[in-house]
Amino acid sequence: MSESGTHITGLGLALPGVAEAADLVSSGERADAPPPDPAERIGRKGLRYKDRATQLALVAARDALCDAGLITPDRERCAAGGSTAVVASSNLGNLDSVCTIAGDIAEKSVAAISPMNLPNASSNVVASSVAIRFGLRGPNLMLCNGVASGLDAVRWGASLISAGRAERALVVGVETGNGVTARLTGVPEDDQLDGAVALVLESSTAARLRGATSMASLGEGVRSTSVAGCVGSLLPYDASASGGTHARGTRSGGAVEAGPGVWFVPERFDLSAPLPGTEGLERHDVTRTFGRASGALGVLQCAAAVSWFASGEATAALVTSGDDGCDGVAGMMLGAPRGAR
């Protein structure tokens, strides 16, 4: 583990057709895979009256905290909760709850609303529910700002750590596919992610003190108005080199020194589109496997990068979310743990 920077030390998944992290980068469609069953994964206790997005987030969060060695399946309260932040990202997660409640009020009255269901209409329900269940008392944030939201959540988690606001952060990305989200977005239900991903981010010092293992290191996060601009900020193009090439990590932050071997591209990005600096990079679009991931995309991409590193395929990964038609494109470089190929 490097002496500075932020590392991923835990990973949790609640995705269709995924039994382990290695499945994230395996080929094959997940269309016929059954949706995750939260009650089957973590038991029914504590799930009653929770909306599906929150239930999925709780599954992924528990597995990530267990993977990081911060809790155990039979002891969910985190002993390090006072120094652990929660950053969640979801654009559509509780949209069905909001629309159902609004519809009941319009057609009937507020008297028709169950007081047990009303909290599910809060935009912060995912982040707050995760924090309450696992006793995480650090800063609590919920991001809902488009397809770059997930990667922004990872960046904000790292920022809370570097600013000394927390020693670690649990970052959760979750979306649900249902009739309401399909109708309002125009995206078919079977092309929407119905799942959650969680990462435990931790400072080098905190991880080292408790003997945690790094799965990946985080480089600098950037924002741009275009995919080319974002990639250019992370991989400066050297036009003087033969055929053009990308520089080796010169703008990605001190935690990532090597150039990437894989690029996790924006949602439905043209995999054959020429882009200076990306020649020779293997391109991977996780949404072609799991459906359009919206606010969960960046977290899912980082999890896929961790899986990629575990297979020994690359020493660094480039991750970008958002496209030229969005209000912004987010990017980040991730580095494989020390000792990886």
Domain assignment of residue 315, given as a range: 216-335
User: What does the pLDDT read at residue 247?
Assistant: 46
Is residue 291, in this structure, part of any structural domain at all?
A: yes
Is residue 341, in this structure, part of any structural domain at all?
A: no
| Same structural domain, 148 and 240 | no
Read off the tokens for 283. 């391109």
Q: Which helix (H) or strand (E) holds 12?
A: strand 6-14
User: What does the pLDDT read at residue 311?
Assistant: 85
| Same structural domain, 197 and 249 | no
| Same structural domain, 235 and 197 | no
Contact of 91 with 293, CB cutoff 8 Å:
no
| Same structural domain, 254 and 170 | no
| Same structural domain, 237 and 125 | no
Is residue 250, in this structure, part of any structural domain at all?
A: yes
Is residue 340, in this structure, part of any structural domain at all?
A: no
- The angle formed by the CA atoms of residues 166, 168 and 172, to the nearest 5 degrees, is 115
| Same structural domain, 187 and 221 | no
Read off the tokens for 331. 């990017």
Is residue 49, in this structure, part of any structural domain at all?
A: yes
Q: Which CATH number characterizes residue 273's domain?
A: 3.40.47
| Same structural domain, 149 and 232 | no
Q: Which pTM does this prediction carry?
A: 0.91
DSSP class of residue 47 equals T
273 Cβ partners below 8 Å, 6+ apart? none
| Same structural domain, 176 and 249 | no
| Same structural domain, 161 and 190 | yes
Is residue 102, in this structure, part of any structural domain at all?
A: yes
Residue 115: CB atoms within 10 A of its CB come to 7
Local confidence pLDDT in tens for the 341 residues of the chain: 555 689 999 999 999 999 888 888 876 556 578 889 999 999 999 888 899 999 999 999 999 999 999 999 999 999 999 999 999 999 998 888 888 888 888 888 887 787 777 788 888 999 999 999 999 999 999 999 999 999 999 999 999 999 999 999 999 999 999 898 999 899 999 999 999 999 999 999 999 999 999 999 999 899 999 999 999 999 865 443 434 444 444 344 446 666 899 999 999 998 888 888 888 889 999 999 999 999 999 999 999 999 999 988 778 999 999 988 888 899 999 999 874 43
Is residue 139, in this structure, part of any structural domain at all?
A: yes
Give 42-74 as a DSSP string.
H-STTTTT--HHHHHHHHHHHHHHHHTTS-BTT
- Domain end marker among 146, 179, 209: 209
| Same structural domain, 109 and 145 | yes
Burial 249-273 (b: 16+ CB within 10 A, else e): beebbebbbebbbbbbbbbebeeee
Q: Which CATH number characterizes residue 78's domain?
A: 3.40.47.10
- The span from the CA of 221 to the CA of 295, in Å, is 17
Closest CA to 260 of 273, 242, 277: 277
Residue 149: CB atoms within 10 A of its CB come to 25
| Same structural domain, 236 and 296 | yes
Contact of 246 with 252, CB cutoff 8 Å:
no
- Domain end marker among 179, 209, 239: 209
CA distances from 235 to 61, 156, 273 (A): 32, 22, 16
Task: Give me the residues paired with residue 141 across strands.
Answer: 87
Question: Structurally, how many domains does the chain consist of?
Answer: 2
User: What does the pLDDT read at residue 210?
Assistant: 94
Contact of 102 with 157, CB cutoff 8 Å:
no
| Same structural domain, 91 and 230 | no
- Domain end marker among 151, 185, 209: 209
- The span from the CA of 62 to the CA of 81, in Å, is 13
User: What does the pLDDT read at residue 1?
Assistant: 53
Is residue 114, in this structure, part of any structural domain at all?
A: yes
